[in-house]
Amino acid sequence: MPIFRVPDMEAEWIRNGKPIEFEGEFWYPQDAIEVLLDQEVYLVGEYKGVQFFIEKSDVRPYKAVFTKFDRNKFRVFRKKMP
């Protein structure tokens, strides 16, 4: 059972609304959070020192990516719509 690290504080670039670049697209942090167990997410990368995840049940094209900021709490990132 993976246990992913929990940062002491959410990265400043996330709090400032800066995106994650993943698979050639930009994903922007939302005010929304998801309560997920580590077993429900899959680590897909690291951006600027922050691990990011997808839900194991999600398939391409992904609906959201997530960063962990507390125990079982994940920040939602979505693609910006035109």
pLDDT of residue 3: 86
Q: What angle do CA 46, 49, 53 make, to 5 degrees?
A: 30
Within 8 A by CB and 6+ apart from 9, the residues are none
Where is average pLDDT lowest: 25-29, 49-53, 62-66, 77-81?
77-81
Residue 28: φ, ψ to 5°: -105, 140
**What global pTM score does this model have?**
0.91
pLDDT of residue 59: 95
Q: Is residue 62 part of a domain?
A: yes
Domain enclosing residue 74, as ranges: 12-79
As a whole number, the mean pLDDT across the chain is: 93
Bridge partners, 67 (sequence order): 52, 75
Pure H helices in 25-67: none
Q: Is residue 27 part of a domain?
A: yes
Q: Is residue 64 part of a domain?
A: yes
Q: Is residue 43 part of a domain?
A: yes
Q: Is residue 53 part of a domain?
A: yes
Number of domain units in the chain = 1
Is the confidence at residue 60, as pLDDT, over 90?
A: yes
pLDDT of residue 28: 97
| pLDDT tier, 2 (very low <50, low <70, confident <90, very high otherwise) | low
The tokens for 53 are 């995840």
Average pLDDT over residues 62-76: 96
Q: Is residue 3 part of a domain?
A: no
Q: Is residue 2 part of a domain?
A: no
